[in-house]
Amino acid sequence: MDQRVAIVTGGCGNLGRGVCRALSKDGYTVVAFDVDTSRAEGVARAVTLDVTDAAACTAAVDAVVRDFGGIDVLVNMAQRIIIQTPLLELTAEHMRVSFESGPMAALRMIQLCHPHMQARGGGAIINFASDAGTRGIPGMGAYSAAKEAIRGITKVASLELGRDNIRTNTLCPVAFSDPTSSWAQRSLAENPMGRVGDPEQDIGGAVVFLAGPVFVNGRTIHVDGGTGVFR
């Protein structure tokens, strides 16, 4: 196969841009799907779309297959992130926004990409979750729940799609495009490696590994320098 094709949802975000650059440097033709494509980097195409829009996703996936010949890798990174909302104040709207942009969109993208990966004889799906889910973080209840739903989808996908040589894994990152930001500095303080994760080298590097023909399926990989408590 001469041209390997990867779709990255949320591919124009802080980590998404690094992931797109890393996949591109590894030889993939990379297509980013994002509501805001103004900061796209390392992509053959940036598609402005809302992953909660089923018709737009279908049309965009069809266009990728038509123009680039197929799909080998799907990276689900798009997520609306709700912070600083205590559990007792969470509304149905908070939950809807979190779940529609995260796990429901990830599931839709898996369903849309699956036949094209099957036609290629296999593929890789990398779903982004969070230590906010695996350990729980106060004020992030809707986000934590949505991210754990993504891990559930990953586990079932790994069991149901493994026969098609499609490997599905969850990646929980800790990395920052601006290492001087207050979030990055807080993360640095608790990082055993004494540095902040880099979107391209650390997160993109792990995505490139999981995108390859590795015997890893259904796992949650924390790429955080050892910060989290999940072992």
Ligand X SMILES: NC(=O)c1ccc[n+]([C@@H]2O[C@H](COP(=O)([O-])OP(=O)(O)OC[C@H]3O[C@@H](n4cnc5c(N)ncnc54)[C@H](O)[C@@H]3O)[C@@H](O)[C@H]2O)c1
The total of other beta-carbon atoms located within 10 Å of residue 65's CB is: 16
Residue 146 CB, nearest approach to ligand X (Å):
9
Kind plus residue range of the DSSP H or E element containing 122: none
- Site residues (vs ligand X, CB under 6 A): 10, 12-16, 34-36, 50-52, 77-81, 101, 128, 130, 173-175
In the complex with ligand X, the residue whose CB is nearer, 36 or 160, is 36
- With b for 16 or more beta-carbon neighbours within 10 A and e for fewer, the 4-23 pattern comes to bbbbbbbbbbbbbbbbbbbb
In the complex with ligand X, the residue whose CB is nearer, 74 or 120, is 74
In the complex with ligand X, the residue whose CB is nearer, 34 or 72, is 34
Whether 135 and 190 have beta carbons less than 8 Å apart is answered as: no
At residue 201, what is the residue type?
Answer: Q
Q: Which residue is it, tokens 């926004």?
A: 97
Residue 119 CB, nearest approach to ligand X (Å):
25
In the complex with ligand X, the residue whose CB is nearer, 5 or 175, is 175
Residue 202 CB, nearest approach to ligand X (Å):
10
At residue 98, what is the residue type?
Answer: S
Q: For residue 93, what are the contacts with CB-CB under 8 A and spacing of at least 6?
A: none
Residue 20 CB, nearest approach to ligand X (Å):
11
Whether 187 and 174 have beta carbons less than 8 Å apart is answered as: yes
Instruction: Tell me which residues are annotated as active site.
Output: 143
Q: How many CA atoms lie within 13 A of 130 on its CB side?
A: 22
In the complex with ligand X, the residue whose CB is nearer, 29 or 227, is 227
Residue 99 CB, nearest approach to ligand X (Å):
11
Please identify the residue of the shown chain whose CB is closest to the bound ligand X.
13
Cα–chain center distance at 13: 11
